[in-house]
Amino acid sequence: MAARLTGRRATGARSGPGSPAEVTLEDGTAVMVKRGDAPGAVRAEVSGLRWLGAAGAVRVPAVLGHDARWLVTERVPTGRPDAAAALRFGRALAALHAAGAPAFGAPPPGGAEEAFIGRAPLRNTPGDDWPRWYAEHRVLPYLRDAVDAGTLRSGEAAVVEEVCARLPDLAGPAEPPARLHGDLWNGNVLWGADGEVRLIDPAAHGGHRETDLAMLRLFGCPHLDRVLAGYQEAAPPADGWRDRVGLHQLFPLLVHAVLFGRGYAEQAVTAARGALAG
């Protein structure tokens, strides 16, 4: 597959269950070969990587070849996270967000409205009002799926629905659409051996920049204090942003509830109650 998509013969390969394969090409180049989980997944990932890379801010692996179901990217040699790289990453993330997007929910150029966050479908429907867009296209679809699956109870759903109803008051100052990675948990942050961070597996779209910051906090990120210091230095978030972290984590927690079950549903309800408490 790597040979067909890159035009170079493969001389070796290794892979683990459920993970991309690492393939060595005839010139010694190491690449990663990944199969799309669903139709359209590769198109969404390629357009997202290119859109993020076009900002000239945070680095992403180069796309070396792809078709409808397979993607070949450069392999990033990884090293240990360090504070200096974290500070640079924070500044670069601020620059990525500042590159902007045409609208909230806007897909990358060449991307489709029907995309993915991990293995969950993600609909990129543009809107110009963040609170309404976030409720209609990020929170409520996954809330409905979680309730339908019995993962989240009706009384708990009412708490999340109240957050959606109050979003105009809870959202903080209005901001322009930012260019988001969209699935910025620690597993999608590669700490390169060269001291530079790369981002992989985006669910890229136009959104609120606090959403990416909240995702970094949700599952832990090495040297997060330095990442946030770099971000603050370059483009301080609006006052009160730390109080809104739970609000922005509501979306990924509901996605995880749909994909992985009850434990994340309970976390989503806790985040909703925290958002309402201010």
Catalytic positions are 183
Q: What is the signed CA dihedral for 222, 185, 49, 254, rounded to 10 degrees?
A: -170
Q: Are strands 70-74 and 30-35 parallel, antiparallel or unpaired?
A: antiparallel
Query: Is the Cβ–Cβ distance between 172 and 240 less than 8 Å?
Result: yes
How far from chain centre, in Å, is Cα 239? 23
Cα–Cα distance for residue pair 150/206, rounded to 1 Å: 31
Cα–Cα distance for residue pair 150/4, rounded to 1 Å: 45
- Using CB atoms within 10 Å of the CB of residue 155, give its burial: 0 to 12 exposed, 13 to 18 middle, 19+ buried: exposed
Non-local CB neighbours of 126 within 8 Å, separated by 6+ positions? 102, 103, 104, 105, 106, 206
Interior angle at CA 268, CA 265 and CA 274, nearest 5: 145
Cα–Cα distance for residue pair 205/100, rounded to 1 Å: 10
